[in-house]
Amino acid sequence: MMHFPWNSYGPYHACRTNCHRRRINSHFASYYLYVHAPVATLLRAADHRVDALDLAASGADARRLREAPTFEDYSRPLLDAVRALPDGERAVLVGHSFGGMSVALAAEELPEKVAAAVFVTALMPDCAKPRPDVIEKVPLSDWMDCVMDAEHEPPSVLFGPDFMRRKLYHLSPEEDFTLSQSLLRLSSYYVADMHRRPPFSEARYGAVRKVYVVCGQDQVIVEAYQRRMIADCPVAEVREIAAADHMAMFSAPEELAGHLADVANTYA
Active site residues: 97, 218, 246
- Of 2, 226, 187, give the one whose Cα is nearest residue 106: 2
Pairing of strands 147-149, 156-158: antiparallel
For residue 148, the number of C-alpha atoms closer than 13 Å in the C-beta half-sphere is 6
Sign of the CA dihedral running 148, 6, 126, 163:
negative
* Cis bond before residue 155 (omega within 30° of 0): no
Q: Residue 227 CB: number of other CB atoms within 10 A?
A: 13
CA distance 233 to 246: 21
- Angle 154-214-119 from CA coordinates, rounded to 5°: 45
- Residues belonging to the chain: 268
Q: Residue 122 CB: number of other CB atoms within 10 A?
A: 30
Which spans in the chain are helix H?
37-45, 71-83, 99-109, 133-136, 161-163, 174-182, 191-195, 223-232, 248-251, 253-267
- Angle 168-142-144 from CA coordinates, rounded to 5°: 70
CA separation (Å) from 20 to 2, 16, 83, 261? 17, 11, 24, 17
